[in-house]
Amino acid sequence: MDTSTHIVMGAGLAGLATLDVQIASSPYMMTAVLATTLVASNAPDFDTVLKLKNNAIYIRHHRGMTHSIPALLLWPFIISGGMMLFFQDAYWPTILLWAAISVFLHVFVDIFNAYGTQALWPFSNRWIALGVMNIFDPVVFGAHVVGILLWALGFPPGPSFVVIYVGLVLYYAWRISEKRDVVKRARQHHPNATHIFVSPTIRWNKWHLVIRTPDMLYVAQSKNKKITFFERYAFDPIPTDPVMQAACSDKNLAAFLSFSPTYRWEMEATTDGGYEVRFFDLRYRSKGHYPFVAIVQLDADLNIVTSYTGWVYSEEALQRKLKIIT
């Protein structure tokens, strides 16, 4: 989920923690727990700092190690230990417990996005992306905001957030059912599909689809339970010719390929005797455009001149980014 949602979830967990009488009866412990849940609910995303280095490192590692099983075990001790420096009279086992709950919930809800996490590392390097919830879901965010407002108005936060979280569990179950229905309808159009990639949008009734068959890729949209097809591309594996092999050695393209499970590629000669290779992630179609891309430009000797991976919404913006990198 996005940062704003993790923040309100941190506040919501602090409200839930007031079901513990020792927390509810102590403003000091309440403050300590609130600080803990706010930090812990965002800690796995501290790897966003990698974006300051470059997009390739950020794309390749974001939601990787910081969301893994070792991280689930280490974050609570790191955060609770840090909190005890500021709240020396707090009861450490309670702080540790709510740090652990907050970190676990962060990683758990992230697997429901199309982006996913490496939550099973080191047992598996696979990205777990259930494709059920958009990275920002107004229901999830809004429910937490309502709970926080009720708390501010004097309603008991513990019972309020119990009701809210029960409701959200039912909402997640409904979204899972809706996604299964989308996949079922897509398979009716292409019974020979080898994989159906589903990306939720911010709208409940709208889903992005990429349907892969043995020889084709179909880009579609499910809206109001009706599937509309947009483009189709031949499913061509990445060739092993020298140009493509040189391009694939680039760190930006390698990062793109580690992240994107379904894409199309283009390769063309340039006027100066070099080559340009482009990859487009087909899951994120927006207004007829595929904004998540990787591009590699090579000279005639197959040396990499410049490259980029990330989100761009126009050719002009892409060319500006390439000039900056060069």
**Model pLDDT for residues 216-268, shown as the tens digit of each residue:** 999 999 999 999 999 999 998 899 899 999 999 999 998 888 888 899 999 99
| pLDDT the model gives residue 45 | 85
pTM: 0.88
**Average pLDDT in the chain:** 91
pLDDT at 318: 65
Please say if the pLDDT value at position 56 is more than 70.
no
- Of 1 and 103, more confident: 103
Query: What pLDDT does 116 receive?
Result: 77
Higher-pLDDT residue of 311 and 171 is: 171
Q: What is the pLDDT of residue 315?
A: 65
CA–CA separation, 319 and 237 (whole Å)? 27
Q: Is the pLDDT of residue 180 over 90?
A: yes
State percent of the chain over pLDDT 70.
91
DSSP-derived secondary structure letter, 134: -
Q: Determine the Cα–Cα distance for residues 54 and 160; give it in Å rounded to an integer.
A: 42
For residue 326, pLDDT over 60 is answered with no
Query: What is the secondary structure of 11-52 as a DSSP string?
Result: HHHHHHHTTSHHHHT-HHHHHHHHHHHHHHTTGGGGGGGGGG
pLDDT of residue 65: 79
Name the region of 222 (left: φ>0; alpha: ψ -120 to 50; beta: rest): beta
The phi and psi torsions of 172 (rounded to 5 degrees) equal -60, -40
Q: What is the pLDDT of residue 30?
A: 97
* DSSP assignments along 140-173, one per residue: HHHHHHHHHHHHHTT--HHHHHHHHHHHHHHHHH
CA 190 – CA 235 distance, rounded (Å): 15
Confidence (pLDDT) at 178: 96
- Minimum mean pLDDT among 5-14, 21-30, 43-52, 164-173: which range? 43-52
Question: What is the percent of the chain where pLDDT is above 90?
Answer: 72
Determine the pLDDT at residue 224. 93
Q: Own/partner pairs for 105-110, CB < 8 Å, 24+ apart?
A: 105/9, 105/13, 105/41, 106/6, 106/9, 106/40, 106/41, 106/42, 106/43, 106/44, 106/45, 106/67, 107/44, 107/67, 107/71, 107/72, 109/1, 109/9, 109/133, 109/140, 110/1, 110/44, 110/63, 110/67
Cα separations in angstroms, 41 against 87, 161, 199, 212, 246: 18, 16, 24, 36, 41
Average pLDDT over every residue of 125-152? 94
- With residues binned 3-state (H G I as helix, E B as strand, rest as coil), the percentages for the chain, rounded to 5, are 50, 20, 30
* Nearest-angstrom CA–CA distance, 23 and 34: 10
Mean pLDDT of 191-216: 94
Provide the pLDDT confidence category of residue 121 given band limits of 50, 70 and 90. confident
Q: Is the pLDDT of residue 24 over 60?
A: yes
* pLDDT for 317 beyond 80: no
Give one word for 298, left, alpha or beta, with left for phi > 0 and alpha for psi -120 to 50: beta
Model confidence band, residue 125 (pLDDT cutoffs 50, 70, 90) = confident
Average pLDDT over residues 146-167: 97
pLDDT-based confidence at 154, cuts 50/70/90? very high
Per DSSP, the residues of 232-300 read EEE-PPPP-SHHHHHHHTSHHHHHHHHH-SSEEEEEEE-TTS-EEEEEEEGGG-BTTB--EEEEEEE-T
Structural tokens at position 257? 């390929």
Cα(129)–Cα(117) distance, rounded to whole angstroms? 7
Distances (CA, A) of 203 to 9, 134, 135, 222, 294: 21, 9, 12, 11, 27
Distance CA(21)–CA(229), nearest Å, equals: 56
Is a pLDDT exceeding 60 seen at residue 52?
A: no
What would the pLDDT profile of 67-95 be if each residue is shown by its tens digit?
A: 889 999 999 999 999 999 999 999 999 99
